[in-house]
Amino acid sequence: MTAVADITIFKSNPLGTDTTLEEVKENFEFLDDWEDRYGYVIDLGKKAPAMPEEHRTEENYIHGCQSQVWFVHYFDKEHNKLYVLVDSDAMIVRGLAAVVMIAFNSRSPQDIAQFDMDALFQDLDLLKHLSPTRGNGLRAMVKKIQDTARQCAQA
């Protein structure tokens, strides 16, 4: 898990700042068809900035995901905010990572560590529409970010 010293790559991420969880929930309610919901999730993933190549390392790799997934963070200790960036080589996983970033990005480490992501996935009815391996990968992603938040909260 790499803490990135330069916040620049995080400032261009609208997920969790411009795009909110309330907006995601409203759009999921509006879209009745799961094909449309998948399309929306993929579109969310397109909003995330790409992970710079120098951060696509083994240290930042999230194991347990079916696709390749990388995670980096920046902890603004002065303002008690954790900024997260997750990227994947698969469009649907990048979209799922976008939902996670919307829930976690620019929040306090304490809020992130305590956030009930399973409840959010249940509200969105998301997990039962994913393959078991995708669901496990999504949980691995959330665990890695929440573990990082717990470490930052103790710093």
The CATH number of the domain holding residue 90 is 3.90.1010.10
Residue range 145-151: mean pLDDT, rounded: 96
pLDDT one-digit tens code per residue, 124-142: 988 888 888 888 889 999 9
pLDDT one-digit tens code per residue, 14-39: 888 889 999 999 999 999 898 999 99
**Half-sphere exposure at residue 138, Cβ-oriented, CA atoms within 13 angstroms:** 24
Number of domains in the chain: 1
Active site residue 65: yes
Q: How many helices (H) and strands (E) does the chain have?
A: 7, 3
- Please tell me which residue in 65, 72, 98, 145 is annotated as part of the active site: 65
- Give the integer Cα–Cα distance in Å for 101 and 105: 5
pLDDT one-digit tens code per residue, 112-123: 999 999 999 989
- pLDDT for residue 3 is more than 70: no
**Parent domain of 71:** 2-154
Q: What percent of the chain has pLDDT over 90?
A: 67
